[in-house]
Structure 1
């Protein structure tokens, strides 16, 4: 009999694991094993977790599959606090910002992508699409 392959990552001690599976299981005090970038096992506090190369404590946290954002405008993080565009109507906002967006260059797009994707990841989003239409 061959020994089971250890997981690459084991997330333990979650307040709640939301499996988002067909049964919509929610496991208090659960753990999640990840192998080769995919969830390889899920268990509760009574289930023995597999060995793992790395363990991440998730005490007090909600553990879910990565969230999906299907509509985003990542580059707009560069201008979201631009004072002349704040406090008006949608048309005021658009007419104030379109000239700024039309001058975005490669560096601005790179910086906005870095900032925007980091913000999304910090919020649990692992998949998104963007609308860079200007």
Structure 2
């Protein structure tokens, strides 16, 4: 028996070799691994998640992120500048980041990634926080 079944999805995008899309589909998970997908009657499990109206996909992968930039993304001095003007306006701010700032920005960014379906990310941290030795 599965540990978890996600059922009633508007669509399950399997990403298997046939790239099947299963309207009204389900996904079963045992021991933290997907062990079945299908449409029709789902298997039983102690935990059932109703995904009515939702798209169910494998976890998304973000291969290029700068988590520390979450802290300055709405800084008004740079929002309308081209790339190099943007960088020049932000480098002085990034220079002042400390370990706590980097830690907090990572938590914010990782939370946002998880909420958007991303399960894997590569971070490009090229600033060196003040006080980090």
What TM-score, normalized to structure 2? 0.91
Show the counterpart of 1:74. Answer: 67
- Give SS of 2:6's match: strand
Unaligned runs of 5+ in 1: 1-5
Aligned-partner Cα distance in 2 for 1:103–1:8: 47
Show the counterpart of 2:87. Answer: 94
Aligned-partner Cα distance in 2 for 1:77–1:38: 32
Unaligned runs of 5+ in 2: 128-133
Number of residues of Structure 1 aligned to a counterpart in Structure 2: 127
Aligned-partner Cα distance in 1 for 2:42–2:8: 11
- Give SS of 2:46's match: strand
Show the counterpart of 1:110. Answer: 103
State the 1:127 CA deviation: 0.5
Show the counterpart of 1:119. Answer: 112
Alpha-carbon displacement from aligned partner over 1:81-115 (angstroms, at most 9, x marks no partner): 00111212211110111111122111111111111
State the 1:50 CA deviation: 2.0
Superposed structure 1 runs of 4+ greater than 6 Å apart: none
Alpha-carbon displacement from aligned partner over 1:15-61 (angstroms, at most 9, x marks no partner): 0000000110000100001111110111102xx32221211110011
In the TM superposition, what are the counterparts of 1:58-73 in structure 2 within 5 Å?
58-73=51-66
Q: What's the Cα RMSD here?
A: 0.9
- Give SS of 2:81's match: coil
- Give SS of 1:85's match: coil
What TM-score, normalized to structure 1? 0.91
Show the counterpart of 1:3. Answer: none
